[in-house]
């Protein structure tokens, strides 16, 4: 592989990493539009285990919005933290790639008064659509999780 091709490959891998990080940032930022923009326009295959499996991103965006944006007395009650790591990206063509990731997930649920932590593995497919890398398939597999009651003395705050 010549130098120009190697540089292009590195740039493509970095663009895919940036896409996945934008996706997780949208999840934590309660941003359904940002979440949606990480996937192809039509026909993305999504399988998020207990959350459901879909042949397009729209139903998953609806679920995400209902959970992430749910409020009680004007305050959010679900807080998520997605810390993705261990990217393993393979370019499979000029405009296609696969990727595997490990996610450290944490959620505080003020409705249930619980905290959940989990380890989740992602297997993704990526394509270039309209000049940008997008996810065309995303499958997550929870390898373990732990849910525990929140300490009654715990205080959860968010900016006004």
Q: For the segment 36-76, what is each residue's pLDDT rounded down to a tens digit?
A: 999 999 999 999 998 999 999 999 999 999 999 999 999 99
Phi, psi of 64 (to 5 degrees): -55, -50
Dump the DSSP string for 17-31.
Answer: HHHHHHHHHHHHTT-
pLDDT digits (tens, 9 = 90+) for 102-133: 999 999 999 999 999 999 999 999 999 999 99
Please say whether the beta carbons of 78 and 68 come within 8 A.
Answer: yes
Instruction: Tell me if the pTM is above 0.85.
Output: yes
Are residues 105 and 81 in contact, defined by beta-carbon separation less than 8 angstroms?
A: yes
């Amino acid at each position: 592989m010549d130098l120009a091709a190697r540089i292009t490959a590195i740039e493509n891998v970095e663009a895919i990493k940036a896409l996945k990080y934008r996706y997780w940032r949208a999840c934590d930022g309660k941003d359904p539009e940002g979440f949606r923009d990480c996937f192809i326009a039509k026909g993305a295959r999504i399988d998020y285990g207990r959350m459901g499996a879909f042949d397009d991103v729209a139903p998953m965006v609806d679920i995400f919005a209902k959970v992430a944006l749910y409020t009680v007395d004007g305050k959010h009650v679900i807080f998520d933290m997605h810390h993705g790591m261990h990217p393993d990206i393979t370019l499979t063509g000029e405009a296609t790639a696969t990727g595997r990731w490990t996610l450290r997930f944490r959620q505080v649920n003020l409705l249930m008064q619980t905290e959940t932590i989990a380890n989740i593995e992602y297997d993704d497919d990526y394509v270039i659509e309209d000049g940008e890398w997008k996810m065309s398939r995303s499958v997550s597999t929870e390898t373990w999780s732990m849910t525990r009651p929140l300490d009654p003395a715990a205080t959860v705050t968010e900016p006004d």
